[in-house]
Structure 1
Amino acid sequence: MIYLDNSATTKPEPSVMRSFEQVTTKYYANPSSIHQFGGEAEQLLHKAKQQAAEIIGVTESEIVFTSGGTEGNNTAIKGIALEHQNRGKHIITSEVEHPSVEEACRGLERLGFEVTYLPVNQNGVISITDLKKAVRDDTILISLMHVNNEIGSVQPIQEAAAVAKQHPKLFFHVDNVQGVGKLPLKLRGSGIDLCTFSGHKIHGLKGTGILYIKQGTTLFPLLHGGSQEYGHRSGTENLAGAVSMAKALRLITEREKKEGDQLRRLQLHLREQLSKIQDVKINTPESSAPHIMNFSVPGTKPEVLIHMLGEEGIYISTKSACSSKQKDESKILSACGWGNDRTTSALRVSLSYDNTREEIDTFLSALDRSIRQFKEVME
């Protein structure tokens, strides 16, 4: 099997699985219980927070463990909106956000909030000038993704954070689900107030994640109850999930340092060879994250090519797994200004540090063969 759909989810790292199992088996007490066994579980939770905080360069009290990217994004966006709506009801985001950000904003619009969706250029990147112009006196939140999950474009987060810093009454949220472990992102002192991470994108487990909440940032909690996670997320803590998330974060950070250049070279090889295949049009900009390659094959049906490749044990995708079963057109590519021939025939290859050049070459041969077979059938 050749798995090239790592932006949808990754294969769990065996040592992460073992840590989850060990904690589940040995430290199953409720961390909120006052007896000694509960105290041991609570200490382990604090240790996981300390480890995660050290890795991403923040303090322990700024780490909130979540169930993943969707919960983190919703908690950040809705939490800020509901808590600070008396000061303003204007939110800024972009036209190329993940569905968990876009739909959260759409939901707030139904509650009377106003959202500005910044346009992007052909590379899928916003204009800082547009962002500056969009900020108003009643703006309470800017929410932008670091790396686009579909085409790999990288937003100017540092520049956007600088804009946010000039307006201390608004908050800046970054969806870093696709960026973590692939591109560095400084949080402390950056101007970023909230940042989302997901475990299953970094060889961790589904149902695990982190929301960084800068000290002093106040949110209206989506979950009320026992005031766990500093009151930001009530509910008995998923201790095993938290420990496994911290471990996955450490391991992917180490691999980024050691193997980041290798991953970039693999993507470059993929780009060069894809450009040689007839009818293939590359959509991912050259200044992209190192693990995503989006391309179109005009005149073909992407789902047919995916099934043809799948029959050979090669797995790629069309777009975000959260929207891949919806209508064929890529909303991201459409926002970039591409025509219908490309927006309806897009495919995505997403790499991990485990993929090899041999796997890429096997995929390229199978893709070329599948395209030619499709064309022959349609003639």
Structure 2
Amino acid sequence: MDARSGLKHLPHERTSAKSFVLSIASPALICQVDEHTLDQLVVAPDGTVLTRRVHGAVLICVKTAAILGAVLSLDALREEDYMRLVKQTLEPKDRLTVLYECKHPWPCSGKPAVIFHDRGKIFTSQRATQVLVDRLGITTEQAPAYAPSAKGTVEALFTWVTRKFSHRLPGTTKSHPTDRGTYDSSGEAEKAGITFDVLEKLFIQAIVDAYMQEWDALRRGRRGALWEESVREKGVPRYLGPQDDLKLLLMKAKNRKNPVTGRYAITNSRLSFLGRSYVSPGLLDRLRGREIDIYYDRRDISVISLFLEGELVGEAYCMEFMGHRMSVWEADAQRRKDAAQAKDAAAESRENRQRIQQEATSGRKLLSMETKR
């Protein structure tokens, strides 16, 4: 009957979510990636409001529902954020659990075979395709349009993040003013000190110590334990390439070559970048006039990496920050605040100088002063 119905293809049998998950042979064989927004107000260390909405992305294993990578950004996600997510997926996470003071290990790392994504620009960009497909050998598949159920695993994770994490933090803006009511988001965020570093720490802790330890009813097990058991039984592919290539994935490239002179603006052993001076004793003098590339991470611009002909030759440090970690968003907010204060100070100084000048040129004022003497 189906052959006589005139259909080009025979209809596929309906597949349940449980049967699809159980049909996946090994961990990291099929992964899903997507981006999401967190309704959270973030402040700078001095209390300046940086944003009211945080952007995040996660990469999750469909077989075990274990999270292989998660990143946050204070503005719209870009290609380098997706590359950072891929880098985090490939690398072991022992350093992250120590850095963010997690109580449990985060054993999930490996090279995915297939990454399932939507039509987001950062997932379908040319650079993402070159890195994932050409360099790493990872297959990418695009979900059908207007079909969020196709990415059910990662969508369920975002529901968990909204209900059990972001809307319970101090400084949450909720998803609508009606839901927020009279709650003072900015005051609570400043009182709690929810900076970008603090939010990132809490986000990773929520993943490792809460989400990964919960019981998954569909897969019948704790997500962290499910990953470890699957890896012991089936194994998982690992990244075996050079670490410099992964470091290139982490950061954004910026070419500082002067198109007029064909040389780089390295003066007095200093390099100007993003309006700030960077130094590297003994290195910048050797790189003067050479064609180098600068790579940097938007989360920490206190240090930049210098590459010569595709190889890492060293790092340069910003004297303004003195080794203190500073994101590009915090640095921009600090610069705007300093500019506003400088403008007010200049206006007050100008007003006082005008008053002094008027007093100096006023004959009546001078005469009255001489009379008083």
> Higher Cα Rg: structure 1 or 2?
2
TM-score past 0.5 threshold: no
Query: What TM-score comes out, normalization by structure 1 length?
Result: 0.27
User: Would you tell me which structure has more strand in proportion to its own residues?
Assistant: 2
Higher relative contact order (CA 8 A, sep 6+): 1
